[in-house]
Structure 1
Amino acid sequence: MTTPYPGHTGLRALLARPVLRQLVRFGIIGLLQNGAAYAVYLLFTWIGFDPKLVVGITYPLAMLVSFLGNKKYTFSHKGGTTGAGIRFLIAHAVSYSLNLGMLYLLVDRMGYPHQLVQLAAIFICAAFLFVALKFFVFRSTAVRTA
């Protein structure tokens, strides 16, 4: 069996593919960023702060970590920071709205535990953001044609 990546077999060949390599890197940054944010979320909601307020405070900090890490490490984006930053904010505005909508609908309206809803929201928003960052925020300028 031949592989399009000479010298790579099995897992190495799989990880040599750019999309999978990006997904793994995105996951590493996401685990570090979201693990810390979720710990802060649990601490402050345990103290008594409103879950939506805590998300409103932690989300912008997590966004900054995500932008810097994913721009350089995940997608190796060489384009300008301003355009990517604006697109990044748009993608996160959609993700943030999705997150708050899940909390409102599933916690406030349906009574599910906020801890579980927020944990699920992390994964749902992460999947959306990977696609948005890859194809919208840090898209390759070489791929676009007139």
Structure 2
Amino acid sequence: MRLAERHPRLWQLARFGVVGVATNLLGYGIYLVVALWVEPKLAVTLLYPIGIVMGYTGHARYAFNYAGGHGRGLARYLVAHAFGYGLNLALLYVFVDRLGMPHQLVQFVAIFVVGAFLFVLYRLWVFRGAPDPRTAAALRNVRHGSAE
């Protein structure tokens, strides 16, 4: 039995990580450049929509094997990201504006905090519903202790 079939949730987390790392490395690099010219919260505001667009397809298709309606999935994805954006701004406000920490470090840590928050929302709400038939079959096999 393959690792993905024995541990589908762990495999899903790994796929989420691959999409997230690729999206966030690119986004963080662009953030560092843009933050040379504009205030950090404005840089995040300008770049957040780009990350949303880059991440939806990767997360829906690769990480969560989502086969539900993309209108509904995208709408929920946008709501989840609105909350993620708010959390990101709150972290910058508290740790940079109030506590005087370097914005580069705070934003780097925020990537992981917001990422964990979004994974939970994606899993429980955004991409919940009709999974890809292959994933559904693997989950059924794992739950019933059988392998194909």
Task: After superposing the two structures, state which structure 1 stretch, 94-103 or 81-90, moved more.
Answer: 81-90
Matching residue of 2:140: none
- Percent same amino acid at aligned positions? 42
Q: Distance in 2 between matches of 1:138 and 1:115?
A: 31
Matching residue of 1:84: 73
Could you list the structure 1 runs, at least 4 aligned residues long, displaced by more than 3 angstroms after superposition: none
Name stretches of at least 5 consecutive residues in structure 1 with no aligned partner: 1-5
**2:20 equivalent to 1:26:** no
Q: Distance in 2 between matches of 1:20 and 1:57?
A: 33
RMSD over equivalenced CA pairs, Å? 1.7
Deviation at 1:16, TM superposition (A): 4.0
**2:119 equivalent to 1:130:** yes
Deviation track 1:65-108 (CA, whole Å, cap 9, x = no partner) reads 11111101111111101111111111111110000001011101
TM-score by length of 2: 0.83
Kindly provide the amino acid, as one letter, of the partner of residue 114 in structure 1: H
Which fold has the larger relative contact order, with Cα–Cα distance below 8 Å and residues 6 or more apart in sequence?
2
Asked if the contact 2:84/2:118 (under 8 Å) is kept, the reply is: yes
Number of equivalences: 132
Q: Distance in 2 between matches of 1:52 and 1:124?
A: 16
